Structure 1
Amino acid sequence: MNMKGILLVNLGSPESPNPKDVKKYLGEFLMDERVIDVPLWARTLLVKGIILNTRPKASAAAYQKIWWEEGSPLIVISERLQEKVQQKVEDYPVALAMRYGTMTIKKGLQELVDKGVNEVLLFPLYPQFAMATTETIVVLAEEIRKQHFPSIKITDFPAFYNKPDYIEVLSASVSKHLENHPFEHLLFSYHGVPERHIFKSDVTKSHCKIDKSCCVTPSKAHEYCYKHQCLEVTRLVAEKLQLEPGSYSTSFQSRLGFDPWLLPYTDRTIERLGKQGIKNMAIVTPAFVSDCLETLEEIAMEGQEIFHEIGGENFTTVPCLNDDEAWVNLLAKWIKNWAEPSIAELI
């Protein structure tokens, strides 16, 4: 007899904003071969020889700016989401794990197995597919399953960037948070990735060219193309909100190193918009479902500072979906559709 359960997986967080804990977290994160995808010797030299000797102190200072009394915002928000989803799907245990840090995927799977679960819906909390997010979670979960839980079955929930009900929930959230904040320009800022990740994820090995045409030309490559999926979210939300052409755009944040990353960069886009005379702008970050360092510090603080320095006046950030009731209800719906396919059409 099958007992089904759900494992929600998010990115992770340091245990504290202390430089020592941040260094430990960054070491695990950046040594992931799907995050910095270079040979082990080069990755070790870069991460352990350079980054971990220079970056932890600055990153710790950034974490200290956004740290909540209850702990890491990402962890706290994810826990709230888990609890609310569990209330909606009472018949199916819902566990929470992080790809990096102490809340491991192994612990999450063990929690479900201890409750009798033998069929797991693995749910990476990322709307778009990327090597450094969805893929690394799926690959690690399968390795752990084979080694520690060979009798359970894992089903991966696919990227949901273009699901109509997700676009509806995201658009409603954007509209709700901007109704009292008039804006001239809405910037959709997504986490950046190196351009080589786009080429590596191209299952056709020929479609992706990172130009202005391939992302809008139908292809099997789009199932795993992060850039296409980001641009689609922007297009679909703009269409849903009936945004005028020129009143919105897409950019990419959080670049690392000197290799080519997806363009345009968010910080430079904010600066450019300010120089063009935009006085009221808003930013939404649809690569994340939970507010974190990249949204609370990099965008809401650093982004706002850039905009004001260049002459901008009103800078509005749209919160992530976090534990919004509509988002909770949507997750519960998708879970029930998976767990009870016979009633999926009735939901």
Structure 2
Amino acid sequence: MSKGVLLVNLGSPDSTNPKDVKKYLGEFLMDPRVIDLPLWARTLLVKGIILNTRPKKSAAAYQKIWWEEGSPLIVLSERLQKKVQERVDIPVALAMRYGSMTLKKGLQSLVDQGVDEILTIPLYPQFAMATTETIDVKVEELKNEFFPQLTIKSLPAFYNKPEYIEVLSKSIAEKLEGLEYEHLLFSYHGVPERHIRKSDITNGNCKMDGKCCFKKGSKQHEFCYRHQCEMTTVQVAKNLKLKNGTYSTSFQSRLGFDPWLKPYTDRTIERMGKEGVKKMAIVTPAFVSDCLETLEEIAMEGEEIFHEVGGETFTTIPCLNERDDWADVLSKWVNEWVDVEAAVVSE
């Protein structure tokens, strides 16, 4: 069998034009794994309310961070894909879950190169319904409808892989070197609390009390986004030898009025500023590519909040983006998959 790899990221509007942003938001928010309401309720919320109020505001936010080459997330993902391709001997394609760089196009590009066995790599360190799961489900739907000849496997969440923790830790250490800071905040993309419960394969083991995340041996941890975020922080803090009290975890980008994972990033930044923290650094390990949520929501809005309440220095740490060592790690995982599959065939 001829193998290939499909890197998959979130996606982006084609431009900062409100019409393009509205189209993108419509596809994204109508995904039942993003807004997991009954179709009638999701349609009413998204098409009746959000798409009539949010596109202009979101377009203005995109305009603040848009590059000459296009969407930062797309550009950075393309650079990463190119570097991984240079490091492996099989075809590597790139696709987005939403937007014009569709999963179907990504799969077709590999098929056109003679590939019939694909490893998809969702570029999300932690598992979540609205990220990894929606990619896996959509890929399976496309396979069944258009590519029945393909054999497709997906790389599981890699939040606890030593190579990932090492490169993430190194990227943070490089930015913090010589920098005076009082607190390092690990900000992860938020999800509704009900998503955590829906992903609970133990049917009730998750208590949403912040304690079960740290219990060892729970089967639920394989699919618990909160646990995986907490463990990412713990492992990086251990690697960097951070002292207790000098770092913490929070969650950003909530939508609507339902309870989302706490503590909230914006309120945490505000609280710390009010409590006298003058120098803060912030990293966003739920993302491997800088995007609207990191470049605008954190680096711009977060800094503004911090300064408004008396904070002085607000340092944002870039995502892994197209770092050479990150491309090395992805290439290592690809080659390991190729070697394992080759060994199975030879048996």
Establish whether TM, by shorter chain, passes 0.5: yes
Structure 2 partner of 1:259 = 258
Matched position secondary structure for 1:138: helix
Give the letter for the 1:227 counterpart: R
In 1: Cα distance, 2:204 partner to 2:47 partner: 35
Mapping 1:231-250, distance limit 5 Å: 231-250=230-249
Who is 1:15 aligned against?
14
Q: Secondary structure at the match of 1:10?
A: strand
* Structure 2 residue matching 1:189: 3-state secondary structure: strand
Number of the residue aligned with 1:74: 73
Deviation at 1:343? 9.3
Which of these residues, 203, 206, 209, is aligned with residue 208 of structure 1? 206
Which of the numbers 131, 153, 161 marks the counterpart of 2:151? Answer: 153
Residue number among 132, 135, 158 corresponding to 1:134 in the alignment:
132
**Structure 1 residues 262-281: aligned runs within 5 Å:** 262-281=261-280
User: Aligned with 1:340: secondary structure?
Assistant: helix
Q: CA-atom RMSD, angstroms?
A: 1.0
2:333 counterpart residue number: 334
1:198 aligns with 2:196: yes
For residue 212 of structure 1, report the CA deviation from its aligned partner. Answer: 2.5
Aligned: 1:31 with 2:15: no
Q: CA deviation at 1:198?
A: 0.1
| Per-residue deviation, 1:342 | 8.1
Give the aligned partner of residue 142 of structure 2.
Answer: 144
Query: Quick check: 1:9–1:124 contact (8 Å CA) kept in 2?
Result: yes
| Equivalent-residue separation in structure 1 for 2:61 and 2:176 (angstroms) | 26
Aligned to 2:287: 288
Distance 1:277 1:3 in 2: 59
Query: Residue 97 of structure 1 is aligned with which of 95, 98, 110?
Result: 95
**In 2: Cα distance, 1:136 partner to 1:200 partner:** 14
Change (3 A) 1:183 1:343: farther
Q: Is 1:230 aligned with 2:229?
A: yes
Match of residue 305 from structure 1: 304
Name stretches of at least 5 consecutive residues in structure 1 with no aligned partner.
Answer: none
Cα distance in 1 for partners of 2:341, 2:211 equals 41
CA distance in 2, matches of 1:180, 1:25: 41
Q: 1-side partners of 2:141 and 2:325: how far apart? A: 34
How many residues matched? 342
| Structure 1 pair 343–170 and aligned structure 2 pair: CA distance change class (3 A) | farther
- Separation (CA, whole Å) in 2 of partners of 1:268 and 1:342: 47
Please state how far the C-alpha of 1:107 moved relative to its aligned partner. Answer: 0.3
Counterpart CA distance in 2 for 1:275 and 1:157 is 42
Structure 2 CA distance, aligned partners of 1:181 and 1:63? 29
For 1:32-51, what aligned pairs fall within 5 Å after superposition?
32-51=31-50
Preserved contact between residue 337 and residue 343 of structure 1 (Cα < 8 Å): no
Any conservation in 2 of the 1:120–1:155 contact (CA below 8 Å)? yes
C-alpha distance in structure 2 between counterparts of 1:295 and 1:178, whole Å: 17
2:253, 2:185 → 1: CA distance? 15
Which residue number in structure 2 is paired with residue 321 of structure 1?
320
Name structure 2 gaps, 5 residues minimum: none
Distance of 1:227 and 1:336 partners within structure 2: 30
Letter of the aligned partner of 1:7 in structure 2? L
Task: State TM-score, norm by structure 1.
Answer: 0.97
For residue 124 of structure 1, what is the amino acid of its counterpart?
P
Corresponding residue number in structure 2 for 1:162: 160
* Displacement of 1:286: 0.1
- Taking the aligned partners of 1:119 and 1:251, their CA distance within structure 2 comes to 38
Cα 1:148–1:215 change in 2 (3 A) is: same
Instruction: Measure the CA separation in 2 of the matches of 1:267 and 1:117.
Output: 45
Alpha-carbon distance in 2 for matches of 1:180, 1:256: 37
Shift of 1:341: 2.5
Letter in 2 for 1:139: V
Change (3 A) 1:313 1:222: same
> What whole-Å deviation, never above 9, does each CA across 1:202-255 have from its counterpart, x for those lacking one?
011111111022111130000000000000000000010000000000000000
Q: Which residue of 2 aligns with 1:121?
A: 119
> Hey, what does 1:188 align to over in structure 2?
186
Q: Percent identity?
A: 72
TM-score by length of 2: 0.97
